Chain A
Amino acid sequence: MTELINGKGLSLIPKTDAKQGLKDFKSDQEVRWCPGCGDYAILAAVQSFLPELGLRRENIVFVSGIGCSSRFPYYLDTYGFHSIHGRAPAIATGLAASRPDLSVWVITGDGDALSIGGNHLIHALRRNVNLNILLFNNRIYGLTKGQYSPTSEVGKITKSTPMGSLDKPFNPISLALGAEASFVARTLDSDRKHLQSVLREATAHRGASLVEIYQNCNIFNDNAFEQLKDPEVRDDITLRLEHGQPIVSATKAVVRGANGGIEVVARDGVAEDQILVHDAHHPDPSLAFALSRLDEPAFEHVPVGIFRQVDRPAYDVLMAEQLDEAVAQKGPGDLSELLLGGDTWRIG
């Protein structure tokens, strides 16, 4: 089992001794999502989780793009930047790269992060910018009133696709792993305990953390993740990913397949030592990628939890090191010396 060298995600951010509660993180703005929206549960989970970090509130920044979820920053009494469609990871990159003392969060949706902003997302991940990226995936466009999204299933009937959508959807976890992400997780809006446990690990991770949150849009794509919430079936189809633990649901288990891949089998009749033990810290993302493909195409068994969590230097740290190294080599910059640095001559 691979162990992490550090989990010092918050070490550079100033702490507070003051006791914080949920109320400290609620802004005075009225929350304006549709009644029943999954965003409420996520907001409440984040607001009640943040006090646990013990960070100075003024050192927390939420940056968002455009979409329903991107209104999130207005409802938190921290610094916030509601930017433009798809660009939150880019804007947050400039902020996080130049301010290692900040806890920077990106709030985005499946359209914002994977359509218009896909390029920025993958580059923020590969650079390992110190960001907690919460990707609210409801598999539909909400704010523009119900067009299919890049995570909608093929054949989705929407206003813009009356005969069904043609596009193969992105799997956000596979995409993030392919983009060299160092922390990739999936959780569910309605499971506060699990959501917060993932946030705990994500904030402890220094670098880019991508957390996909299955979020229900009860207006345009209701019950998209119902199987994961239905008490009748959820324990059967949810494969819990916990580092060092066998990957199982109540009735299923993940084992190595004959072809070298992995497969899901009935838990009954499988010897415990045949069940794959989850290693989120493994340097090679191949297994994490294989796990990310298990839910396709039928959504019959869905891994939930942390797929990958590995140490890699964060972008701001590397950038700061270069500045320090430049000063160490040649001393701090001197404007006069700079201007006189070329071939000069004097007149008069």
Chain B
Amino acid sequence: MTKQVQQLDRVIIRFAGDSGDGMQLTGDRFTAGTAEFGNDLSTLPNFPAEIRAPAGTLPGVSSFQLHFADHDILTPGDAPNVLVAMNPAALKANLGDLPRGADIIANTDEFTKRNLQKVGYAASPLDDDSLSEWRVHAVPLTSLTVKALEGFDLSKKDAERSKNMFALGLLSWLYHRPTEQTIKFLEQKFARKPELAKANIAAFQAGWNYGETTESFSVSYEVKPARLAPGVYRNISGNQALAYGLIAASVQSKLPLFLGSYPITPASDILHELSKHKRFGIRTFQAEDEIAGVGAALGAAFGGALGVTTTSGPGVALKAETVGLAVTTELPLIIVDVQRAGPSTGMPTKTEQTDLLMAMFGRNGESPVPIVAPMSPSDCFDAAVEAARIAVKYRTPVMLLSDGYLANGSEPWRLPEISDLPDISQEFTTEPNGEDGAFLPFKRDPETLARPWAIPGTAGLEHRIGGIEKADGTGNISYDPNNHDLMVRTRAAKIDGIDVPELAVDDPDGDARVLVLGWGSTYGPIAAAVRRIRKSGGKVAQAHLRHLNPLPANTGEVLKSYDRVLLPEINLGQLALLLRARYLVDVISYNRVRGLPFKAEELAGVIQDVIDSD
């Protein structure tokens, strides 16, 4: 039987199962195949903080959503076209997001009485008509896998464990994904256990063959490669891009990278990644706590390294005093905050934009810190280089505000030409700058207001710095009232004077009356929503802030040139507070703090409401 092939322009798949079912791996492999095939894509992993939550329960559900298309896309998608549900909990937890008519591939083997009871199903939804509005494909994934692996020297449990590869094979068939890379990947992953490698490959192929032969699937789908800008691409997550950006910053600043860090979700992968690249002269230091992580980074910066610390919100709270020390000693330092849902421990694996005001103000005294925020997973690379540029040029700590959505999400990344990366190097000071060979550690560059960076080992420039207020120029301890006022204002002026690019506005016809403004990871959903509005004939302008401190010089002018400014944030209006105070503009906030990114449809509705509110 030749099966029908249907062309689609885009598909959203969600793999969902127990946290032990290997859904993240399955999603990663499907993503790799999709990237290799040449679709544009965007991913959204969503998993519990617990390593193994109780099996079969709702809190234990782990999912991975992938959106891929034959054109450029901006988000992991609002609503899945296909849900792979490995157990009843996965079905129940995700059904609410599934539009009517979507496909559900359910692993019938797990729909046992006990598993159904665990999540409150009185009877199996596969057996009654409660799912009649969806297209349900009931597939005994586990038993098919076990059957396919009968010839292998494996326990039943080990054979069952390969069911995620069976599912991957089936989905790979359904969407015409290439298979070579996954086979190669499995061979490498289980290089030391060849029997497991063979079994997983066999399960993967059995899943593919099942799709081809079963009558449960009469149609397969093709999504043609996307016509993206020419170049070499790879798929990359935000944390990996950020780590690569820091390595690039080290190379481009000609400074050895020193990372002081303490493991914390969702930032730890940056530490893991950087620790693999010692060939670049990178020192990674897993400190005893968050405070020591930033302290060591600052100490290394005093010695002439590119000092970096990586953390998430609770860690930033602990590091605050040391960041203040970096502000007053005016040393370069990068603090990476991969924001997560708070307050306190909050929801460690869920995303939020709620650390903006902490980054701005979360220190004692007047202690301004520049803030840079990436807008997509791959943009974490450029944002890291930009943060380093500011830190080194202006001798200041810089906050780099990523978040959980960027950190774990991934997308194709067009690799930059190395020759196009900016040279962000600065010379260390090696000569005295005062009269009679004196060295004045706080005599500033008149243009940038940066102080000299003279590192230990430089003869004749021996000097002392510290947390106590310093006399202008000499840096000696000073309690002089006017000197303190001068130093406070000068440190502020230095940060205010940082050269940041103007805020660009996307307003194709130039006649929109509503501006949607965003910062950080909301770029994708906002841009996708703006597209929808424009597609239906609506007029809306879009601008996105990468620099939160200082704000681009034209920010006020841009805000005031529109009748209304809408600002969606995954917080309760933190940037809105700053903009209202600074520019006296009546910014309209739209806020949700659900631990999840915005959906494009949701934002399109909000934008339309603002447009219509004339």
Q: Which A residues are closer than 8 A to B by beta carbons?
A: 14, 27, 29, 56-61, 63, 66, 73-74, 77-84, 87, 90-99, 101-102, 119-120, 123, 319, 322-323, 325-327, 330-333, 335-336, 338-340, 342-348
Contact = CB atoms under 8 A, between A and B. Distances in A.
A98 B300 contact: yes
Nearest to A57: B462
A333 B247 contact: yes
A58 B295 contact: no
B230 A347 contact: yes
Contact of B321 (A58, A84, A95, A123): A84
B258 A80 contact: no
Contact of B459 (A56, A93, A339): A56
B467 A333 contact: no
Contact of A91 (B236, B296, B459): B296
A84 B234 CA distance: 44
A57 B460 CA distance: 9
B230 A339 contact: no
Interface string B173-193: 000000001000000000000
B230 A82 contact: no
B228 A347 contact: yes
Contacts of B295: 83, 87, 90-91, 93-94, 120
B299 A93 contact: yes
Give the dominant DSSP class at B's interface. mixed
B525 interface: no
Contact of B415 (A14, A57, A339): A339
B460 A323 contact: no
Contacts of B256: 98
A87 B465 contact: no
A109 to B, nearest CB: 16
A241 B465 CA distance: 37
A340 B232 contact: yes
A78 B464 CA distance: 8
A73 B466 CA distance: 10
A2 B235 CA distance: 57
B364 to A, nearest CB: 11
Contact of B465 (A81, A333, A346): A81
A123 B262 CA distance: 13
B317 interface: no
A78 B454 CA distance: 12
A82 B233 CA distance: 48
Nearest to B227: A347
Contacts, number: 204
A332 B304 CA distance: 20
B477 A326 contact: no
Interface string B210-242: 000000000000000101111111111000000
B248 A335 contact: yes
Given A98-B258, A335-B248, A80 B464 contact: yes
Interface string B145-162: 000000000000000000
B603 interface: no
Q: Give the interface size bracket for B toward A.
A: 35 or more
A127 to B, nearest CB: 9
Given A58-B462, A74-B464, A335-B251, A94 B299 contact: yes
B288 interface: yes
A339 B233 CA distance: 10
Given A93-B296, A102-B457, A344-B415, A84 B303 contact: no
Contacts of A56: 457, 459
Nearest to A88: B295
Contacts of A327: 278-279
20 contacts: A27-B464, A77-B462, A78-B462, A83-B325, A83-B467, A84-B325, A87-B321, A90-B296, A93-B287, A94-B285, A95-B456, A333-B281, A336-B418, A338-B244, A338-B247, A338-B277, A340-B232, A343-B32, A343-B234, A343-B235
B456 A102 contact: yes
A346 B458 CA distance: 48
Contacts of B477: 29, 74
A81 B299 CA distance: 9
Interface string B18-51: 0000000000000010011010000000000000
B449 to A, nearest CB: 22
Nearest 3 interchain pairs by C-beta:
A348-B230, A82-B466, A94-B296
B461 interface: yes
Nearest to A78: B462
B311 to A, nearest CB: 14
B456 A58 contact: yes
User: Which residue, B32, B230, B465, has most C-beta atoms of chain A within 10 A?
Assistant: B465
A238 B104 CA distance: 82
B235 A58 contact: no
Contacts of B251: 333, 335
Interface in B259-316: 260, 277-283, 285, 287-289, 291-292, 295-305, 307
